[in-house]
Structure 1
Amino acid sequence: MKFENTGIEKLKAELNRLDEVMHEHGLVRAGQWDYERVTYDRKFELKEGVYYLRVQGYALEGDVDTFKATIQLMTPFLGKHYYPHGVEYGEGENFPASLVNQCKKILETVKEEVSKFAV
C-alpha cells in the first residue's frame, strides 16, 4: 500500500539528520543501503501478522557509505510479511485500519520534522 501525497516524496535532506529523525520514530536503516540508496523500515507485530512501514530514498549528491549525502525521499509504503517468501506491498493486501492510521501519523510527524532542515 502506497501512502500517496504525504509530502515526504518532495523532501530532500542531509543523510545524518535524516537518520536521526527516522530513528526517533522507529524507522531503522540498519544494513539496508548501498552507495546510492537508503531504506528505512519500521516493523509492526500485530495479531493479524507482521507489517513493515518503509520509506526509501536515493542520493542526489554524495555517497551513502561516507555519510555525506543529500537524500531525495520517495513515496512511503506499507507491506505485510509472509513467511518464507518475504514482504508483499501489493494493492491487493488488506491492512488493519488502526495500523494504517498509525503509519499516517508517523509519516506526518516525520514530514514535519524533516521539513525543518530539508534542502
Structure 2
Amino acid sequence: MKFTETNLENKELPFSIVHYAAETLGFVHAEQWDYERVMFDYKIVHHDGTFYLRIPAYAVKGDMPHPSTTVKLMTPILGKYYYPHGVEYGEETFPQAVLDKCRTKLTSLTKTIEQELQEL
C-alpha cells in the first residue's frame, strides 16, 4: 500500500535531517543502503502479522550515507512480512490499527523534518 497523502514524496532534503527525524521516531536505517539508495523501516507487530512501513529515498547529490548528501524521498509504502520470503507489497488487506499507526508516524515524520529545516 502506498501513502500518497503525506507530502513527503519528491522532497529533496539533506540526508542528515531525514536520518535524524526518522531515527527519532523509531525508523531504522541499519544496513539498508547502497551508494545511491536508502530505506528507512518502521516495524509494526500486530496479531495479524508483522508489517513494515518503509520510506525509500535515493541520492540526488552525493553518496550515501554521507550527512551532506541530498536525498529525494519516494512514496512511503506498507508491506506485510511473510516467512521465509520477506516483505510483500501486493494487494493486502491491512488492519485499521496498522494503517492508523502508519499515518500517525508519517505525520510525525513530516512535522519533525519541517522543524529541523526551520532550525537550519
TM-score by structure 2 length? 0.91
Note the alpha carbon deviations across 1:71-119, whole angstroms, 9 max, x for none. 11000010000011111111x1011101101100110111122134189
Alignment of 1:86-97 (within 5 A): 86-90=86-90, 92-97=91-96
Identity of aligned residues (%): 40
1:80 counterpart = 2:98: no
Q: In structure 1, the residue corresponding to 2:32 is in which secondary structure? A: coil
RMSD of aligned alpha carbons:
1.6
Cα deviation for residue 46 of structure 1 reads 1.2
Amino acid corresponding to residue 61 of structure 2 in structure 1: E
1:30 counterpart = 2:30: yes
- Runs of at least 5 residues in structure 2 that lack an aligned partner in the other structure: none
- What is the total number of aligned residue pairs between the two structures? 118
- Runs of at least 5 residues in structure 1 that lack an aligned partner in the other structure: none
1:113 counterpart = 2:112: yes
1:10 counterpart = 2:15: no
CA distance in 2, matches of 1:7, 1:65: 23
Task: Check conservation: 2:39, 2:55, Cα contact below 8 A.
Answer: yes
Task: Check conservation: 1:38, 1:57, Cα contact below 8 A.
Answer: yes
